[in-house]
């Protein structure tokens, strides 16, 4: 029996699309094409690869309205953010088109050879296992560096965004990408392990939960295949007494509600120095209270629905458990009686270590405020998590930079929002994963750093 992948409109709870999952024949054909395309693609020059990436970037920009719409209808991202995401995906393609050759330039190393150097060669078909929360951006974050390095890319997208997966594959087709260079392989979850194990897949890039990441990494490791894991986070944001409180509140409100809070790098635990706690909390509360929640198709909507009913229920469970454990709910905190999977901007104060909103990742518009007696205590609280994805610090600049060294996170922002940027590497430590995406580091994940030693040096 064919497994169907069903997209449900989270603003109504109604199914909107069903796509058959790939069966054995489609899996075989896709992997075969990815392998045979690699034979030619690996021999193309950077200029040809860049041309494809520039063309697909241009296609995304041209079709931004349609691409954004499918994202909004399948996972509920407010349409203005969805347009921004499509443009950012195009930027990733264009960034690697422009800088990939430089990032992969051979490194000459003096030795006993006449000439010795390290050159960076592609590995083969790379599998990208992707989540629903940023369907276009995360697809291009994976495939743009992989393709520019000369690999071919096989995308296994989240089963809840089959229209997005098809649209991304359609963008490559529209610009005439050679068959097999990029493919969407919509396999059902139980079939993913078999694809990772397939001899034609040489490496895996995974973005998603730590639980699923552990499963993917175990299979990849058992086949001795490299993997990059970008997993969950419970990112701390430290607001110290010398911070610009209004600026911090403005940015952290935004950071917590982008994509209805469904971002791995959102500000999830906000750790505020005691002397400015009340002032900061009021500045944050007033901003969260003013947000417009509603139909994500409307241009003026700032907070859309949660992507799925089970995720909304899990979020509400975290909020109620945190309040039961002694936190105060200053805003939101209840499931609205409307169709769809909405959850309101919610502000919890008095959150302490061990409470659900602190110990677990909250994937929704729930800000958990904790109190620190001083900067040192704030750093201890920030690091008291199993995760280590990103963090922000709000204080005098030099002090913030010094604190970054103390924070167990793959990325730290001083007096600014934590964001991803094609120019800069992102990734986590601890249970937030390993390896890096983006920047020079991102394109070096899926290459063979081949040492070449040529002839003995003569005196
Ligand atoms: O949720 C992870 C994606 C975060 C981002 O790159 O904006």
**Which ipTM was obtained for this model?**
0.96
137 in a structural domain = yes
- Residue 424: half-sphere exposure toward Cβ, Cα within 13 Å: 9
d(CA 244, CA 293): 27
The CATH code of the domain that includes 286 is 3.40.309.10
The pLDDT score that the predictor gives to residue 297 is 98
Instruction: Evaluate if residue 1 carries a pLDDT over 90.
Output: no
The pLDDT score that the predictor gives to residue 340 is 98
Do 269 and 189 lie in one domain? The reply is no
Other Cβ atoms less than 10 A from the Cβ of 444: the count is 17
421 in a structural domain = no
Q: What would the pLDDT profile of 46-89 be if each residue is shown by its tens digit? A: 999 999 999 999 999 999 999 999 999 999 999 999 999 999 99
In sequence order, what are the residues at sequence separation of 6 or more whose Cβ sits closer than 8 angstroms to the Cβ of residue 413?
390, 391, 392, 393, 419
User: What is the share, in percent, of the chain residues with pLDDT greater than 70?
Assistant: 100
| Ligand 1 shell residues, CB under 6 Å | 133-134, 137, 263-265, 420
Instruction: Evaluate if residue 311 carries a pLDDT over 80.
Output: yes
Structure tokens at 265: 């790098």
Ligand 1 centroid to residue 264 C-alpha, Å: 6
Q: What is the CA radius of gyration of the chain?
A: 23
Q: What is the pTM of this model?
A: 0.97
Structure tokens at 429: 């430590």
Q: What would the pLDDT profile of 363-399 be if each residue is shown by its tens digit? A: 999 999 999 999 999 999 999 999 999 999 999 999 9
344 in a structural domain = yes
DSSP string, 335-373: --SSSS-----EEEES--TTSHHHHS---SSEEEEEEES
- Rama region for 169: left / alpha / beta (φ>0; ψ in -120 to 50; rest): alpha
Q: What would the pLDDT profile of 329-370 be if each residue is shown by its tens digit? A: 999 999 999 999 999 999 999 999 999 999 999 999 999 999
Do 134 and 254 lie in one domain? The reply is no
DSSP string, 283-342: HHHHHHHTPPB--TTSTT-SB---S-HHHHHHHHHHHHHHHHTT-EEEE--S--SSSS--
Ligand 1 centroid to residue 135 C-alpha, Å: 10
Name which residue sits closest to atom 6 of ligand 1, judged by CA. 420
Q: Which of 59, 264, 273, 358 is catalytic?
A: 264
225 in a structural domain = yes
425 in a structural domain = no
Which of the four pLDDT bands, split at 50, 70 and 90, describes residue 171?
very high
Do 48 and 160 lie in one domain? The reply is yes
The pLDDT score that the predictor gives to residue 458 is 84
The pLDDT score that the predictor gives to residue 324 is 98
Structure tokens at 137: 């951006």
The answer to whether the CB of 74 falls within 8 A of the CB of 161 is yes
Mutate to test the pocket of ligand 1, among 95, 264, 387 (most ligand atoms within 8 A of CB): 264
DSSP state of 177: P
The answer to whether the CB of 147 falls within 8 A of the CB of 153 is yes
Do 294 and 215 lie in one domain? The reply is no
Active site residue 264: yes
Query: What is the domain extent for residue 338?
Result: 236-414
Mutate to test the pocket of ligand 1, among 84, 130, 134 (most ligand atoms within 8 A of CB): 134
Do 144 and 291 lie in one domain? The reply is no
Based on the structure, what is the number of domains in the chain? 2
Do 395 and 298 lie in one domain? The reply is yes
Ligand 1 centroid to residue 255 C-alpha, Å: 11
Instruction: Evaluate if residue 201 carries a pLDDT over 80.
Output: yes
CB burial string 71-107: b at 16+ within 10 A, e below: bbbbbbbbbebbbbbbbbbbbbbbbbbebbeebbeee
The pLDDT score that the predictor gives to residue 369 is 98
Do 138 and 198 lie in one domain? The reply is yes
Instruction: Name residue 434's beta-bridge partners.
Output: 229
Do strands 390-394 and 433-434 pair parallel, antiparallel, or not at all (unpaired)? unpaired
Q: What would the pLDDT profile of 80-137 be if each residue is shown by its tens digit? A: 999 999 999 999 999 999 999 999 999 999 999 999 999 999 999 999 999 999 999 9
For residue 420, give the ligand 1 atom closest to its CA.
Answer: 6
Do 406 and 314 lie in one domain? The reply is yes
d(CA 357, CA 366): 8
Structure tokens at 31: 């992997």
420 in a structural domain = no
Active site residue 230: yes
Q: Which of 81, 94, 230, 360 is catalytic?
A: 230
Ligand 1 centroid to residue 442 C-alpha, Å: 15
The answer to whether the CB of 206 falls within 8 A of the CB of 212 is yes
Mean pLDDT over each residue of the chain, to the nearest integer: 98
Ligand 1 centroid to residue 445 C-alpha, Å: 18
The CATH code of the domain that includes 201 is 3.40.605.10
The pLDDT score that the predictor gives to residue 459 is 73
The pLDDT score that the predictor gives to residue 206 is 98
Helix/strand/coil for 72: helix
Other Cβ atoms less than 10 A from the Cβ of 203: the count is 22
Instruction: Evaluate if residue 265 carries a pLDDT over 90.
Output: yes
Do 340 and 409 lie in one domain? The reply is yes
Do 141 and 179 lie in one domain? The reply is yes
Do strands 227-230 and 433-434 pair parallel, antiparallel, or not at all (unpaired)? antiparallel
Phi, psi for 302 (deg, rounded to 5)? -105, -25
**Number of H-type helices and E-type strands within the chain:** 15, 20
Do 329 and 379 lie in one domain? The reply is yes
Do strands 447-456 and 113-122 pair parallel, antiparallel, or not at all (unpaired)? antiparallel
Do 218 and 248 lie in one domain? The reply is no
45 in a structural domain = yes
For residue 207, give the ligand 1 atom closest to its CA.
Answer: 2
Closest by Cα among 169, 146, 191, 132 to 49: 146
130 in a structural domain = yes
């Amino acid at each position: 029996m064919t497994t169907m992948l069903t997209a449900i409109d989270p603003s109504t709870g109604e199914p909107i699309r069903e796509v058959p999952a790939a069966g054995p024949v489609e899996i075989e054909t896709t992997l075969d094409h990815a392998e045979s395309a690699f034979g030619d693609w690996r021999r193309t020059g950077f200029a040809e690869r860049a041309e494809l990436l520039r063309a697909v970037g241009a296609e995304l920009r041209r079709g931004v309205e349609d691409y954004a719409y499918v994202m909004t209808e399948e996972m509920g991202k407010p349409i203005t953010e969805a347009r921004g995401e499509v443009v950012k995906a195009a930027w990733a393609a264009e960034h690697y088109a422009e800088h990939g050759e430089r990032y992969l330039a051979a490194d000459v190393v003096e030795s006993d050879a006449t000439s010795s150097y390290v050159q960076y060669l592609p590995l083969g078909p790379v599998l990208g296992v992707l989540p629903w929360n940023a369907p276009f951006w995360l697809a291009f974050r994976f495939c743009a560096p992989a393709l520019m390095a000369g690999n071919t890319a096989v995308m296994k997208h989240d089963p809840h965004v089959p229209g997005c997966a098809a649209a991304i594959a359609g963008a490559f087709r529209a610009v005439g990408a050679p068959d097999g260079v990029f493919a969407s392989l919509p396999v059902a979850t139980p079939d993913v392990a078999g694809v990772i194990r397939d001899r034609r897949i040489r490496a895996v890039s995974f973005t998603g939960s730590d639980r699923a990441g552990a499963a993917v990494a175990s299979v990849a490791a058992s086949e001795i295949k490299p993997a990059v894991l970008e997993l969950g986070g419970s990112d701390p944001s430290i607001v110290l007494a010398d911070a610009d409180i209004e600026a911090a509140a403005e940015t952290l409100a935004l950071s917590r509600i982008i994509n209805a809070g469904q971002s791995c790098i959102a500000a999830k635990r906000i750790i505020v120095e005691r002397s400015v706690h009340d002032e900061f909390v009021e500045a944050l509360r007033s901003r969260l209270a003013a947000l417009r929640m509603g139909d994500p198709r409307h241009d003026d909507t700032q907070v859309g629905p949660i992507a799925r009913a089970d995720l909304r229920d899990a979020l509400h469970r975290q909020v109620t458990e945190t309040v039961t454990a002694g936190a105060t709910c200053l805003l939101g905190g209840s499931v609205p009686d409307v169709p769809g999977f909405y959850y309101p901007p919610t502000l919890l104060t008095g959150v302490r270590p061990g409470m659900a909103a602190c110990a677990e990742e909250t994937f929704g518009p729930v800000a958990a405020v904790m109190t620190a007696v001083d900067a040192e205590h704030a750093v201890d609280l920030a690091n008291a998590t199993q995760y280590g994805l990103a963090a922000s610090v709000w204080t005098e600049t030099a002090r913030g930079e010094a604190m970054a060294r103390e924070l167990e996170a793959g990325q730290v922002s001083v007096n600014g929002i934590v964001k991803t940027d094609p120019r800069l590497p992102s990734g986590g430590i601890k249970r937030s994963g390993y390896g890096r995406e983006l920047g020079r580091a991102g394109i070096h994940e899926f290459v063979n750093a081949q040492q070449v030693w040529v002839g003995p040096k003569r005196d």
